[in-house]
Amino acid sequence: MSTQGYAELQDHAAELESERGYIAGLYGRLDAERARVGHRYKSVLRGSGQTLVERDAEVRALARQMARLDVADSGLCFGRLDSLSGDRLYIGRIGLLDEENDYDTLLLDWRAPAARAFYVATGASPENMRRRRQFHTRGRMVLDFTDETLGRPSDGERGGSGDAALLAAVNAPRGDGMRDIVATIQTEQDEIIRLDHQGVLVIEGGPGTGKTVVALHRVAYLLYTQRQRIEHHGVLVIGPNPAFLNHVGRVLPSLGESNVVFMTVGDLVPGLRVTAEDPPEAARLKGSLKMLEVLDAAIADRQRVPENPIPIELTDAAVRIDAETAEWAIQEARASKQPHNDARAVFTDVITWVLTERAIAKIGRGWLTREDRAAWEHLRAELVDELGDHAGFAAALDELWPKLTPETLLSELYSSHDRLRAAGADPALFRAQGESWTVSDVPLLDELVDLLGRDTTADQAAERERRAEAEFAEGVLELMVSREDLMEDEDQLLATDMLYAEDLADRFTERDNRELDERAASDRDWTYRHIVVDEAQELSEMDWRVLMRRCPSRSFTVVGDLAQRRSAAGATSWDTMLQPYVPGRWIYRPLSMNYRTPAEIMRVAGALLAEFAPGVRPPDSVRATGVQPWSREVGEHEVATAINEFIAEEAAREGTSIVIGPPGAPGTVAPAEAKGLEFDAVLVVEPERILADGPRGAAELYVALTRATQRLGVLHRGPLPGALSGLSAR
């Protein structure tokens, strides 16, 4: 080694020790802050003179603060910026201040405006910086660092060291869930994450472009910059399936953010269980806005006039509900513009008025005139009371204007050819088991909540119970005050009693001790301040109506790829879906670089894409692995053995793997179940059958091929599809 090389090595070692000392100091500051918050948390739990409501609020706030401090432990500081003026900025997961030195910044939160240069500075555009340093860490230990000199153009804009950090991250074996990219955010990603837009942001990108993780980092950024507006109502993340939500669910907690609710579209109606799947045509019909007309007509069909007059036998008179009376009552009830169940009161009032008028005329014939208003109204009141307890009258109301639940109306609609015909619905919606709910039913059931109104019986009972409990607590307080007047010499006893009474009263004030995600998930009327929609190309027009109701401010991050659409009811263009709800308030940002799929695999997937979506350009892979994807022809009885061989081979390697095949194929998962996920190795079984599975089979196969980050194999029984001719035969 030359003298110069040895000197450089020594300088690097000395600098590394210096950085280790600084970052060790950051961890010391983190530990001190964690201890301070933990001590306060325990103190508040023991009680510190606050009311229970105040105590509960502070406990929650401190718990969130402790969670943010805990997740910062791994990779606390991952970079440094050196400015042209000589200032140094250390960049990390959270911000830390030096309380002993005028609150100087020891560590800058990656979301702070001053940290932006760490992600966007290039040789050609250095953002007033001269160097970017990236730390390589394991736990709390700094293993090494790499420097990138700014202020001069370099290959690939970011330069060699920046690319090295990125490639190390994308080449690393996959674990059980998606990782955050806080240390390796790229320029095009950072611009989207920090975008100042209050409406709907559409992020579109092909497989591996990082659109999902960018959207999640954008949520973390919004919570940092707009915490007061967003935090108490939370953020909703919609994903395609539970496996996907489990895969991405760690990203935001790893960034210190917890007030986030994860759901599929099937979870949007609390308490509903999705147990079936619609055929494509039924899904297409249910997803169309034309279903609004069907629902209106289905409700109107339940608002009926009697075919024959319905007799109502009262004590002193017999009256009838005829078609003319019912028709009048229906028109008045509809004119009220109230939901169906609420408008039943108007319908009932009209029917009641007509029947009592007729009964009074019969009972009072010969002695009662309208001028005798007091007697007339007295008799009416008696008749109204009698009708209120009349079983026949109640049965008639239920027949002509029944109370309906969304589930009852929709299940009876689906299972009746006559009701479907009366509602003007397509016969393809018929199913024998009306309550075998599908994902496509969820937005319809949600719509019906507003169209029908709610049955408030349970709510009223709960409110009566709450008031009774509150009155009891109030009585305890009054008793304590009375005892204080009578027993002034028993101060200690009274103090204890008064504390008990105040706590008891506090306990019955209106508050919910559940965490935000629990409260939001169980409340159909909960509204969020921001919603992330992943795999958004699969959502129907009716799905979007549900989500718009959940976010009145219309603040969305929409993530998708139109080329991967499989749903017959999904989006063919973003404008078609969004313009009706947010005209002029949505913007589009594409992602073009593929960080997941190596070039060798993307060449094969790109050939397939060119066949079914010739106008779509596949994303450019940032790396090649030198490992060629392969294919192997197998016989019918060899498939299971070949799958087992793949599983055994991958079990000996570090990382994750999956076998994807046609829906229902033994030992495989369907492409739809793998959407949004990534694995080190993927085996695709019988691609020819996936292609043949419905009109979107090519998109399904495209999804399957692009899940791999390292290795891809294909087993085929029939002829290998022509688009996959780029595979190496094994």
Q: What is the secondary structure of 548-587 as a DSSP string?
A: HHH-TT--EEEEE-GGG---TTS-S-HHHHHTTTSTT-EE
Overall residue count recorded for the chain in this entry: 730
Check if 194-277+526-590 and 599-729 are the same fold: yes
Query: How is residue 228 written in tokens?
Result: 């007061």
Residues facing 260 on adjacent strands: 235
Does residue 49 surpass a pLDDT of 70?
no
| Helix (H) / strand (E) containing 359 | helix 340-363
CA neighbor of 239 nearest in space, from 221, 259, 266, 217: 266
CATH superfamily of 194-277+526-590: P-loop containing nucleotide triphosphate hydrolases (3.40.50.300)
Q: How confident is the model at residue 52 (pLDDT cuts 50, 70, 90)?
A: confident
Does residue 589 surpass a pLDDT of 70?
yes
Give the tens place of pLDDT for each residue, 363-394: 876 676 767 778 778 888 999 999 999 999 99
Does residue 231 surpass a pLDDT of 50?
yes
Does residue 162 surpass a pLDDT of 60?
no
Count of beta carbons in the 10 Å neighbourhood of residue 285? 20
d(CA 489, CA 590): 77
Does residue 715 surpass a pLDDT of 60?
yes
Does residue 40 surpass a pLDDT of 70?
yes
Q: How confident is the model at residue 362 (pLDDT cuts 50, 70, 90)?
A: confident
Contacts of 160 (CB under 8 A, 6+ apart): 148, 154
Is 668 assigned to a binding site? Answer: no
d(CA 252, CA 156): 30
For residue 490, what pLDDT is reported? 47
460 residue type, one letter: Q
- In whole numbers, what is the pLDDT of the chain averaged over residues? 88
Q: Higher pLDDT residue, 651 or 474? A: 651
Q: What percent of the chain has pLDDT over 70?
A: 88
On whether the CB atoms of residues 541 and 577 are closer than 8 A, the answer is yes
| Helix (H) / strand (E) containing 33 | helix 3-46
Does residue 499 surpass a pLDDT of 50?
no
Give the tens place of pLDDT for each residue, 651-696: 999 999 999 999 989 999 999 999 989 999 999 999 999 999 866 8
Query: How is residue 196 written in tokens?
Result: 């100042």
Q: Is the dihedral of CA 429, 432, 434, 435 positive or negative?
A: negative
For residue 496, what pLDDT is reported? 45
Q: Which CATH code fits 599-729? A: 3.40.50.300
| Helix (H) / strand (E) containing 134 | strand 129-138
d(CA 657, CA 173): 10
Is 666 assigned to a binding site? Answer: no
For residue 71, what pLDDT is reported? 83
On whether the CB atoms of residues 240 and 538 are closer than 8 A, the answer is yes
For residue 432, what pLDDT is reported? 95
Is 675 assigned to a binding site? Answer: no
For residue 225, what pLDDT is reported? 94
Contacts by residues 500-505 (CB-CB < 8 Å, ≥ 24 positions apart): 500/476, 501/473, 501/476, 501/477, 502/51, 502/477, 503/52, 504/473, 504/476, 505/470, 505/473, 505/474, 505/476, 505/477
For residue 370, what pLDDT is reported? 66
For residue 324, what pLDDT is reported? 97
Q: What is the largest CA-CA distance in the chain?
A: 128
163 residue type, one letter: D
Query: How is residue 132 written in tokens?
Result: 């970017």
d(CA 71, CA 60): 17
Query: How is residue 125 written in tokens?
Result: 């555009």
Q: What percent of the chain has pLDDT over 90?
A: 70
For residue 558, what pLDDT is reported? 98
Does residue 303 sit in helix, strand or coil? coil
Query: How is residue 596 written in tokens?
Result: 């997941």
Q: Higher pLDDT residue, 50 or 73? A: 73
Count of beta carbons in the 10 Å neighbourhood of residue 472? 12
φ/ψ of residue 490, rounded to 5: -105, 55
For residue 343, what pLDDT is reported? 97
d(CA 328, CA 673): 53
Q: How confident is the model at residue 260 (pLDDT cuts 50, 70, 90)?
A: very high
For residue 463, what pLDDT is reported? 59
Average pLDDT of the residues in 567-572: 93
Is 206 assigned to a binding site? Answer: yes
What's the Cα-to-Cα distance from 625 to each of 207, 532, 708, 709, 711, rounded to whole Å?
17, 33, 12, 9, 9
d(CA 141, CA 134): 14
The three-point CA angle 535-539-542 to 5° equals: 160
Count of beta carbons in the 10 Å neighbourhood of residue 20? 17
Q: How confident is the model at residue 20 (pLDDT cuts 50, 70, 90)?
A: very high
Does residue 462 surpass a pLDDT of 60?
no
Is 146 assigned to a binding site? Answer: no
255 residue type, one letter: L
Is 205 assigned to a binding site? Answer: yes
Q: What is the secondary structure of 72-97 as a DSSP string?
A: TTTTSEEEEEEETTS-EEEEESS-EE
Does residue 88 surpass a pLDDT of 80?
yes
Does residue 151 surpass a pLDDT of 70?
yes
Does residue 637 sit in helix, strand or coil? helix
What's the Cα-to-Cα distance from 389 to each of 361, 382, 385, rounded to whole Å?
21, 11, 7
What's the Cα-to-Cα distance from 57 to each of 48, 228, 232, 312, 491, rounded to whole Å?
13, 15, 11, 58, 30
Is 242 assigned to a binding site? Answer: no
d(CA 542, CA 288): 6
What's the Cα-to-Cα distance from 34 to each of 45, 62, 96, 616, rounded to whole Å?
16, 10, 12, 50
Q: What does the domain layout of the chain look like in residue ranges?
A: 3-151, 194-277+526-590, 303-400, 599-729
Q: In 121-159, where does DSSP find H-type helix?
A: none
Does residue 147 sit in helix, strand or coil? strand
Q: How confident is the model at residue 60 (pLDDT cuts 50, 70, 90)?
A: confident
Does residue 550 surpass a pLDDT of 60?
yes
Query: How is residue 206 written in tokens?
Result: 């092909």
Is 212 assigned to a binding site? Answer: yes
Sheet with 129-138: list strands edge to edge.
96-98, 104-109, 88-92, 77-83, 129-138, 141-149
On whether the CB atoms of residues 588 and 204 are closer than 8 A, the answer is yes
Average pLDDT of the residues in 457-462: 55
Give the tens place of pLDDT for each residue, 624-649: 999 999 999 999 899 999 999 999 99
Give the tens place of pLDDT for each residue, 107-146: 999 999 999 999 999 888 899 999 999 999 988 999 999 9
Query: How is residue 146 written in tokens?
Result: 């790499």
d(CA 709, CA 259): 31
Q: How confident is the model at residue 159 (pLDDT cuts 50, 70, 90)?
A: very low
For residue 1, what pLDDT is reported? 61
Query: How is residue 99 written in tokens?
Result: 């309380």
For residue 300, what pLDDT is reported? 98
On whether the CB atoms of residues 608 and 698 are closer than 8 A, the answer is yes
> Lowest-pLDDT range, 85-94, 411-420, 455-464?
455-464
φ/ψ of residue 82, rounded to 5: -110, 120
